[in-house]
Amino acid sequence: MSLYDEYLKKFQEINDYTHNPLIGSINLHLIEAVEIKSSHDPFLKEITKKLYDFLSKLRIDGYREWIEVYTIYSEAELYLKLSGKIAIEHIKEEQGQKTPDFKVTIRKKEYGIELKSVSFADAFVNYREVLAEGLEKKIEIEDQIANGETLIVTEQSIAPYTRKQPGNSKSQIINSLINKIEQNLKQDQFKFIEPTILLINLSQLGTASSTDNSIKPFFLSTHIHNKKVIANGELWHTAFGTAGNTIWKEPMGYNDDIFDRKQEKDGILVSYPWIRGLIFYSQKHSSKQDNFLGLYRSDDLDVYPLLENICNYINDDKNSLV
């Protein structure tokens, strides 16, 4: 059985019972592309084998295994997307040596890219609750069908940044992202090739602001009363914000306050000087357009060519490039 068929089989098995937010984040066409290209790409061949081995053994409630599948898939996803933009090579792990995931060559200069895929808030508990809720919704649908309903309506949601709090505030998003990104950062991985940047896959989460606004320190947003108000870009503050800053958000309703809570921690590029830049990857859900959003320190000019070759939008700590 092919990887494509194995994934489709697993998807259908799970979908018969419930909704799995992780498997829903995996693109079936990309799985097919990985398998096709694996015949002449050693890295994708290795990825194909890993994915097949994991998928063939997975249980519906095997959250940690699904996280592993998604992490492996994410490597292949970003590798394929970046290979259409730049010359990229996967760095094979060697015992005792800490390396970034990828090496990129631009005009004979080498750059490192370390990939980090972030999942939704309180991932394990949130995941189990979504599975349970998905099962309830399936039962609800069956009941509606049994009662002769011709229009079947059901609703399910997952809070990406803060569990059980829909309409997440900007400060919650910023604080949650910083906490997620900080997990398991290893300085040696960023010293093997200099400069090395951190690529963060936000496919499961998305961004709250429009793509270019998310990498601005502030921007004008249209209030519900059709007035302009100042709001903060969550990704810029994830990179460059400082603890104690008051975050401004877009109001969700007539009585919603534009003042949010304070940022709890310094941003990633403030706290970790050895991370030379950040690229956030996400997709516009309406168009499926890939968005690579780059942020770097204005005095780190040697990293700019890498961001320029990858990103749709770039900004720096001085807000000089948007």
Supply the DSSP string of 107-161, one letter for each residue. Answer: TTEEEEEEEEE---TTHHHHHHHHHHHHHHHHHHHHHHHHTT-SS--------SS
* Residues 241, 142 share a domain: no
What's the pLDDT band for 95 if we cut at 50, 70, 90?
A: confident
* Residues 290, 180 share a domain: yes
Please give the pLDDT value at position 287. Answer: 54
Say yes or no to pLDDT of 134 above 50. Answer: no
Please give the pLDDT value at position 244. Answer: 93
What's the pLDDT band for 128 if we cut at 50, 70, 90?
A: low
* Residues 134, 23 share a domain: yes
Contact by Cβ (8 Å): 82, 310: yes
* Residues 176, 151 share a domain: no
> Which of 1-15, 243-257, 304-318 ranks highest by mean pLDDT?
304-318
**Does residue 102 form part of some domain?**
no
Say yes or no to pLDDT of 214 above 70. Answer: yes
Lowest mean pLDDT among 4-8, 96-100, 172-176, 231-235: 4-8
Radius of gyration of the chain (CA): 21
Say yes or no to pLDDT of 121 above 70. Answer: no
Q: Where are the beta strands (DSSP E) in 138-218?
A: 196-201
Say yes or no to pLDDT of 149 above 60. Answer: no
* Residues 210, 127 share a domain: no
Mean pLDDT of the chain: 81
Q: What is the pTM of this model?
A: 0.83
Q: What is the extent of the structural domain holding 34?
A: 1-84+122-158
* 182-196 tens-digit pLDDT: 988 999 999 999 999
Say yes or no to pLDDT of 278 above 80. Answer: yes
What's the pLDDT band for 61 if we cut at 50, 70, 90?
A: low
Please give the pLDDT value at position 221. Answer: 75
Percent of the chain at pLDDT exceeding 70: 72
Tokens of 107: 């005009």
Say yes or no to pLDDT of 286 above 80. Answer: no
Please give the pLDDT value at position 150. Answer: 54
* Residues 205, 143 share a domain: no
Contact by Cβ (8 Å): 197, 111: yes
Separation of alpha carbons 158 and 135, rounded Å: 14
Percent of the chain at pLDDT exceeding 90: 45
Mean pLDDT of 234-244: 96
Contact by Cβ (8 Å): 102, 113: yes
What's the pLDDT band for 225 if we cut at 50, 70, 90?
A: low
* Residues 295, 219 share a domain: yes
Give the closest residue to 283 by CA, choosing from 37, 44, 23, 81.
81
Tokens of 292: 């690579």
Say yes or no to pLDDT of 152 above 50. Answer: no
What total number of domains does the chain contain?
2
What's the pLDDT band for 240 if we cut at 50, 70, 90?
A: very high
Q: Name, in order, each residue with C-beta under 8 angstroms of 41's C-beta and a sequence gap of 6 or more.
A: none
Domain endpoint, select from 158, 186, 205: 158
Contact by Cβ (8 Å): 274, 186: no
**Does residue 306 form part of some domain?**
yes
* Residues 258, 185 share a domain: yes
How many CA atoms lie within 13 Å of 63's alpha carbon, on the beta-carbon side? 14
* Residues 178, 150 share a domain: no
83 vs 120 pLDDT, higher one: 83
Q: Residue 28 burial by CB count (10 A; 0-12/13-18/19+): exposed, middle or buried?
A: exposed
Say yes or no to pLDDT of 322 above 70. Answer: no
Separation of alpha carbons 248 and 236, rounded Å: 13
What's the pLDDT band for 209 if we cut at 50, 70, 90?
A: low
**Does residue 3 form part of some domain?**
yes
Separation of alpha carbons 231 and 220, rounded Å: 6
**Does residue 53 form part of some domain?**
yes
Please give the pLDDT value at position 249. Answer: 76
